[in-house]
Amino acid sequence: MIPRGFDPAPRAYARYVTAIRRSARGPEAAPAETDFPGLERWLLGAAMEEGDPMLLIESFLWGLRAAGLPLDRASFHVGTLHPQIAGYAWNWRAEDRIIDEVIVGPEARAQAAYLRNPLHPVFDRGETARGDPQEAADRARFPLFEDLAPQGVTDYVARPIGRRGRHYNAGTYATTQAGGFTAAEIAALDRFYDLFALHLERHISELIARNVAGAYLGAIAAGEVLKGAIARGAGRPIRAVIWVSDLRDYSGRADRMEPGAVTAMLNLYFGALSGAVMEAGGEVLKFVGDGLLAVFPTKAGEAEAARTALAAAREGLARVEALNAAPPPELSPAALPLRSGLALHLGEVFFGNVGAPDRLDFTVIGPAVNEASRVEALTKTLGRPLLLTEAVAALTGERLEDMGAHALRGVGAPVRLFAG
């Protein structure tokens, strides 16, 4: 999920670029030794201990400037594997002392301006692009230079710093020094960028691992796995509001539709529900056929988890109704109307690895999950799309419709349910 809420002011970014965080440590971020030999020692030693790529890049760039190189702005651009993200970039300027970390959306490469950006030949062909924004011919080649010229930039270099699949990663550096960079300064910058690329590759691999694990496991489960919880049985008990939902008449729809249309239907349906879960801070754990399992951990308090889960459930069901009201072209008429049953229950579950020694699943298990599933089955019987157990309903602070006590298969005592 792309983060929200970060204010990029005083900078501005294109609509397909999202600033997610910032550092402004300034020259104090530079390594202690700021001559060329000192920077090299830092890159081969202490820099390995910095786990945050943004802070590492910030230290590196201020180090280059402190070592005497006339660096006024720089950036690094890397690709990744993620269904919603084309890549990451870090944008630094000496003038405002800011470095921003940004996410670049997949639509970036579809923009007409991309073909005339100096990064295009770097990304696609591994070629270096260089120009002087003060020169009209260079501004005609690269429209970006129209923005750089009034800022006094006299030399801009974009160059490859390693390759990921079909595309190259890129680094840029620019100066306002009269006459641009000297040949010796270009040689020094290229040498240090080549050394730094080894560090960046390590961080790119970690970013990709987090993104892929997050896309397939969910953010919380991915964090546990990447911290080393990979042994069968590894995990911990957590208390959470459990979400179990199911698409009504899935089998009947699937029998009437082509496989591609079924896939499109499920993607839209799951997108509506899981988007509501994740935007509310919940964790989507599993898609099983047409079913969805999610949790809202109670780390901020049980009442907060209950209220958040109820709001997310209502939002998810509203999004499903919106698909019915205005079906997108890829949604087959045979899929309509989409109807969902959704249950919310509170309980303790085991959050961890389950499965065979060489094929594991990170999920939640326990009686509370089974009980939530039994409640979801009653949404069809009771004719209500959203049911809450009394344990959740009592925490929401709302007056909900009492549906009475109902026997759940495998549960000793009847469970009182409320319609949400």
Please give the Cα distance from 99 to 335 (Å, whole number). 48
pLDDT score at 237: 79
Q: Which residue has the higher pLDDT, 83 or 265?
A: 265
Please give the Cα distance from 323 to 268 (Å, whole number). 8
| Bridge partners, residue 320, by sequence | none
pLDDT range class, residue 350, cuts 50, 70, 90: confident
pLDDT range class, residue 34, cuts 50, 70, 90: confident
Report the 10 Å Cβ neighbour count for 254.
19
In sequence order, the 6+-apart residues with CB closer than 8 A to the CB of 340 are 245, 246, 247, 248, 269, 273, 316, 317, 320, 385
Q: What is the pLDDT of residues 294-330, one digit of tens each?
A: 999 998 899 999 999 999 999 999 999 999 999 999 9
- Mean pLDDT computed over 377-400: 95
Pairing of strands 340-356, 386-389: parallel
Minimum mean pLDDT among 70-84, 127-141, 340-354, 384-398: which range? 70-84
Minimum mean pLDDT among 82-91, 115-124, 170-179, 219-228: which range? 219-228
Q: What is the pLDDT of residues 294-304, one digit of tens each?
A: 999 998 899 99
With contact defined as beta carbons under 8 Å apart, do 104 and 96 qualify? no
Of 44, 48, 54, which Cα lies nearest the Cα of 202? 48
Cis peptide preceding 83, ω within 30 of 0? no
In Å, the largest CA–CA distance within the chain is: 83
3-state class (DSSP) for residue 419: strand
**Does 82 score more than 50 pLDDT?**
no
pLDDT score at 81: 45
Q: Which residue has the higher pLDDT, 400 or 81?
A: 400
Percent of the chain residues past pLDDT 90, beyond the cut: 57
Supply the DSSP symbol for 177.
S
Helices (H) and strands (E) in the chain, counts: 12, 15
pLDDT score at 1: 37
- Mean pLDDT computed over 393-398: 95
Neighbouring C-alpha atoms within 13 Å toward the C-beta of 247: 27
Report the 10 Å Cβ neighbour count for 261.
18
Please give the Cα distance from 286 to 179 (Å, whole number). 59
Supply the DSSP symbol for 113.
G
Of 166, 205, 184, 181, which Cα lies nearest the Cα of 73? 181
Of 203, 125, 213, 107, which Cα lies nearest the Cα of 163? 125
Supply the DSSP symbol for 290.
T
Pairing of strands 129-131, 17-23: unpaired
Environment class of residue 49 by beta-carbon count within 10 Å: exposed (0-12), middle (13-18) or buried (19+)?
Answer: exposed
**pTM of the model as a whole:** 0.61
pLDDT range class, residue 155, cuts 50, 70, 90: very high
Range among 14-23, 51-60, 409-418 rated most confident: 51-60
Q: What is the pLDDT of residues 167-197, one digit of tens each?
A: 788 999 999 999 999 999 999 999 999 999 8
pLDDT score at 43: 92
CA 332-334-340 angle, 5° bins: 95
Neighbouring C-alpha atoms within 13 Å toward the C-beta of 259: 0
Give the tokens for residue 78.
């890397």
**Does 19 score more than 50 pLDDT?**
yes
Average pLDDT, the chain: 87
- Mean pLDDT computed over 249-258: 83
**Does 109 score more than 80 pLDDT?**
no
Of 147, 161, 152, which Cα lies nearest the Cα of 75? 161
Question: String of b and e for 187-206 (b: at least 16 CB within 10 Å)?
Answer: ebbbebbeebbebbbebbee
Residue 366's φ and ψ, nearest 5 degrees, are 140, 170
pLDDT range class, residue 231, cuts 50, 70, 90: low
pLDDT range class, residue 78, cuts 50, 70, 90: confident
List of domains in the chain = 17-217 (3.30.450.40), 229-419 (3.30.70.1230)
Q: Which residue has the higher pLDDT, 4 or 199?
A: 199
Please give the Cα distance from 168 to 165 (Å, whole number). 8
With contact defined as beta carbons under 8 Å apart, do 61 and 99 qualify? yes
